[in-house]
């Protein structure tokens, strides 16, 4: 509604009518003296007391002119009875009252506004008053018009050939590496940090500890940063290691830089975008205001490497946002969930290249009802992505969402067996399977549907009763297979990844990855089928010499999960050039510029560290100066 139309005074109305009439049709203006002269020149006695009963020609002319003026359309002459009598909102209130609905306290006066009041403020206040009255009504109020945003359909990641990515770019600064556990604990306590997880990197103290190159450090200084905030000191090293993060931090804590700076280094290591590609880094925010704020902050740092940043959110032109994304040159996208889904459905962009995902203020997104949309976006991104989730609170829904990022269960022991050839895996399986069945049920995962049928047939021939599960089975067949397995009629289930997600059977004590998973996320979901409800479980992964690429991912997964990495697995992983290069030169570059003609991030990274001394800053934190002494508690 717009109540900006005000009543005009009678004088203003006459003036407006005269102006419009004059503009519509130009005519001579007559005054009394002119009229007398005209009548006299025509031989008419103006002093006669009586007139002819017939209409005088001049009178007829003037009457005709007056009639035309009356018939001339003039906007100010039109009386807006609908405004002065009753507007739409008042009509609605009257309608509800006629139905017998009492709209709140009728004794509560509506606010009275000055004629110069902001019309929007008046509308908002009126709407708020109506809402308050409807809350007291026993009738169901009319629901506000709300656009329903359908989530994205699920994606079959197995059918997509994703580019290989590297996520670990961090090498610990010598000064930080020299800190023992007691010193690290003291630093975290002073910074108010509470950290959980396995082998979490130590917090850094200054920007010089992160290993940023000169370009990025200059951008940090130009943005006005002199010392990292508490969450930056801890989150940046963790993110640069390629680890997933759940950060509980409020607005103003500096969390934006905590996830943007590692994102830049991550992006600089990826292949250049080509036509049709979507962004590499994606940041989801609950509101347009926060999206704009993150966008502006991200641009400050992205200029260091010439990366393009875009933002899509409601309330702005879809056409402009569409054209911006359609170019295929946006490497970092900041978005609200609803508008992002709109852009994807309009084919403006896609999520195939996203390998660094940030969910900022996830609790607010859930409070605003975006949970289905957020989950659908996450499900459409490659499973082995890096995910950083920030929230002001740690609700159960946030925890449930965070668990989808794929951290391993500590109740599960993972054992890796390395074989020279595929044929050796069958002999190992037959030798150990009987013992596994004594302890409980067993799930054997293979990579293809035909392999499920082949392996289950061979096991039955070897007198190991088993059932098979894959996507080609009819629904009633799946139900029978799962029913027999859950009821313990059959102790062995051979399956593709279709059973890896959502299958919760407490009796499963052993998982065997007969074929390696497609990616580490699928591997984690497979392993998670055992060790349910606090029970202990064991997961075996059978890997061959030709699978060195996955061996590298498995090494990192085992290390972050606190599992033992067998020497033969490490040797196999080191055969992979990418893993070997990353292992031997971790952190000496922020990215090797794979496929980048300009080398991206690698030329100026601080490979040779200089010792940094510490002093207490005026804010109570720790900063760096060339000649400052270390605080006594660090001695």
Total residues belonging to the chain: 635
Helix segments in 471-626, DSSP class H: 475-486, 520-527, 548-560, 567-573, 577-584
The torsion angles phi and psi of 20, rounded to 5 degrees, stand at -65, -40
For 587, counting Cβ atoms within 10 Å of its Cβ (0-12 exposed, 13-18 middle, 19+ buried), the class is buried
Tens digits of per-residue pLDDT, 337-355? 999 999 999 999 999 999 9
Q: Are 358 and 329 in contact (CB under 8 A)?
A: no
Predicted confidence (pLDDT) at residue 310 exceeds the cutoff of 50: yes
Residue 512 has a pLDDT of 97
Indicate the SS3 state at residue 62: helix
Kindly calculate the radius of gyration of the chain based on its CA atoms and give it in whole angstroms: 37
Residue 11 has a pLDDT of 53
Q: Are 398 and 363 in contact (CB under 8 A)?
A: yes
> 10 Å Cβ neighbour count for 399?
12
Side-chain-side CA neighbours of 107 within 13 Å: the count stands at 0
Residue 364 has a pLDDT of 85
User: What is the rounded distance in angstroms from the CA atom of residue 431 to the CA atom of residue 434?
Assistant: 7
Angle between helices 57-71 and 32-41 (to 10 degrees): 140
Tell me which of 56 and 497 has the higher pLDDT: 497
Confidence class of residue 519 from pLDDT cuts 50, 70 and 90? Answer: confident
What mean pLDDT value characterizes the chain? Answer: 76
Residue 624 has a pLDDT of 36
The model's pTM: 0.55
The torsion angles phi and psi of 123, rounded to 5 degrees, stand at -65, -45
- Residue showing tokens 């966008």: 295
User: Which residues, 6+ apart, have CB-to-CB distance to 526 below 8 Å?
Assistant: 443, 445, 497, 500, 511, 513, 517, 539
Predicted confidence (pLDDT) at residue 104 exceeds the cutoff of 90: no
Q: Structural domains in the chain? A: 86-135 (no CATH), 171-403 (3.40.50.300), 412-584 (3.40.50.300)
Residue 621 has a pLDDT of 36
Indicate the SS3 state at residue 493: strand
Residue 531, sorted as left (phi over 0), alpha (psi -120 to 50) or beta, turns out to be left
**Could you give the percent of the chain with pLDDT greater than 70?**
64
Predicted confidence (pLDDT) at residue 615 exceeds the cutoff of 50: no
Nearest partner of 265 among 556, 609, 593, judged by Cα = 593
User: What is the rounded distance in angstroms from the CA atom of residue 156 to the CA atom of residue 352?
Assistant: 12
Residue 585 has a pLDDT of 60
Predicted confidence (pLDDT) at residue 499 exceeds the cutoff of 80: no
Tens digits of per-residue pLDDT, 554-593? 998 888 777 889 999 999 999 998 888 877 765 444 444 4
Confidence class of residue 253 from pLDDT cuts 50, 70 and 90? Answer: confident
Reading the block at residue 107, the tokens are 């004794």
Confidence class of residue 477 from pLDDT cuts 50, 70 and 90? Answer: confident
Q: Are 531 and 412 in contact (CB under 8 A)?
A: yes
Residue 488, sorted as left (phi over 0), alpha (psi -120 to 50) or beta, turns out to be left
Residue 495 has a pLDDT of 92
Confidence class of residue 124 from pLDDT cuts 50, 70 and 90? Answer: very low
User: What is the rounded distance in angstroms from the CA atom of residue 169 to the CA atom of residue 120?
Assistant: 51
Tens digits of per-residue pLDDT, 135-175? 444 444 444 444 567 888 888 887 888 888 888 889 899 99
Residue 586 has a pLDDT of 54
**Could you give the percent of the chain with pLDDT greater than 90?**
40
- Tell me which H or E stretch contains 182: helix 181-191
User: Which residues, 6+ apart, have CB-to-CB distance to 525 below 8 Å?
Assistant: 406, 497, 500, 501
Residue 410 has a pLDDT of 66
Bridge partners of 537, per DSSP, are 412
Q: What is the mean pLDDT of residues 433-448?
A: 93
Residue 451 has a pLDDT of 93
Residue 419 has a pLDDT of 96
- Which of 147-151, 239-243, 517-521, 618-622 is the most confident on average? 239-243
Tell me which of 210 and 408 has the higher pLDDT: 210
Tens digits of per-residue pLDDT, 272-285? 998 889 999 999 99
Angle between helices 88-98 and 119-135 (to 10 degrees): 10
Predicted confidence (pLDDT) at residue 79 exceeds the cutoff of 80: no
- End-to-end Cα distance, the chain: 68
Minimum mean pLDDT among 230-244, 398-412, 424-438: which range?
Answer: 398-412
Nearest partner of 545 among 574, 522, 513, judged by Cα = 574
Minimum mean pLDDT among 134-138, 307-311, 361-365: which range?
Answer: 134-138
Say how far residue 491 (Cα) sits from the centre of its chain: 42
């Amino acid at each position: 509604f717009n109540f900006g139309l005000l009543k005009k005074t009678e004088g203003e109305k006459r003036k407006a009518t005269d102006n419009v009439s004059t503009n519509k049709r130009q005519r001579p203006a007559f005054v009394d003296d002119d009229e007398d002269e005209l009548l006299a020149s025509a031989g008419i006695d103006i002093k006669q007391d009586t007139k002819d009963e017939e209409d005088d020609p001049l009178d007829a002319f003037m009457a005709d002119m007056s009639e035309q003026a009356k018939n001339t359309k003039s906007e100010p002459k039109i009386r807006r009875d609908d405004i002065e009598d009753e507007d739409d909102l008042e009509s609605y209130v009257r309608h509800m009252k006629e139905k017998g609905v009492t709209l709140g306290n009728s004794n509560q006066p509506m606010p009275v506004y000055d004629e110069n009041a902001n019309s929007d403020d008046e509308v908002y206040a009126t709407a708020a008053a109506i809402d308050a009255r409807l809350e007291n009504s026993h009738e169901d109020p009319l629901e506000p018009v709300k656009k329903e945003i359908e989530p994205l359909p699920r994606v079959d990641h197995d059918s997509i050939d994703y580019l290989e990515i590297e996520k670990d770019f961090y090498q610990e600064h010598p000064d930080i590496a020299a800190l023992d556990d007691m010193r690290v604990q003291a630093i975290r306590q002073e910074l108010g940090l509470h950290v959980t997880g396995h082998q979490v990197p130590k917090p850094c103290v200054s920007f010089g500890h992160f290993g940023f190159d000169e370009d990025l450090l200059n951008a940090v200084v130009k943005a006005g940063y002199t010392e990292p905030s508490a969450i930056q000191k801890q989150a940046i090293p963790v993110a640069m290691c390629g680890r997933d993060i759940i950060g509980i931090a409020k607005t103003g804590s500096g969390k934006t830089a905590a996830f943007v700076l590692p994102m830049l280094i991550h992006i600089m290591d990826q292949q250049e975008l080509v036509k049709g590609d979507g962004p590499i880094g994606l940041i989801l925010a609950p509101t347009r205001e926060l999206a704009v704020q993150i966008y502006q902050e991200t641009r400050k740092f992205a200029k260091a490497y010439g990366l393009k940043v875009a933002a899509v959110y409601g309330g702005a032109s879809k056409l402009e946002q569409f054209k911006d994304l359609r170019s295929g040159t946006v490497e970092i996208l900041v978005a609200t969930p609803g508008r992002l889904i709109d852009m994807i459905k309009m084919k403006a962009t896609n999520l195939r290249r996203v390998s660094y995902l940030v969910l900022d203020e996830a609790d607010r997104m859930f409070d605003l009802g975006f949970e289905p949309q957020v989950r659908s976006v996450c499900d459409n991104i490659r499973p082995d992505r890096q995910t950083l989730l920030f929230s002001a609170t740690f609700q159960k829904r946030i925890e449930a969402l965070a668990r989808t990022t794929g951290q391993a269960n500590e109740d599960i022991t993972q054992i890796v067996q390395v074989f020279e050839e595929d044929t050796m895996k069958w002999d190992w399986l037959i030798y150990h399977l009987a013992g596994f069945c004594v302890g409980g049920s067993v799930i054997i995962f293979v990579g293809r549907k035909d392999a499920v049928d082949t392996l289950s047939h061979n096991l039955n021939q070897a007198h190991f009763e088993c059932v098979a599960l894959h996507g080609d089975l009819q629904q009633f067949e799946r139900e029978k297979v799962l029913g027999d397995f859950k009821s313990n009629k059959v102790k062995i289930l051979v399956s593709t990844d279709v059973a890896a997600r959502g299958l919760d059977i407490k009796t499963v004590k052993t998982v065997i990855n007969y074929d390696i998973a497609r990616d580490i996320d699928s591997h984690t979901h497979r392993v998670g089928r055992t060790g349910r409800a606090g029970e202990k479980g064991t997961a075996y992964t059978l890997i061959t010499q030709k699978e060195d690429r996955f061996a590298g991912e498995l090494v990192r997964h085992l290390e972050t999960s606190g599992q033992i990495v067998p020497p033969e697995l490490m040797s196999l992983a080191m055969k992979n050039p990418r893993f070997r290069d990353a292992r031997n030169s971790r952190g000496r570059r922020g990215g090797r510029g794979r496929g980048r003609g300009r080398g991206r991030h690698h030329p100026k990274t601080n490979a040779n560290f200089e010792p940094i001394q510490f002093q207490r800053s005026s804010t109570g934190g720790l900063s760096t100066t060339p000649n400052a002494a270390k605080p006594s508690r660090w001695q």
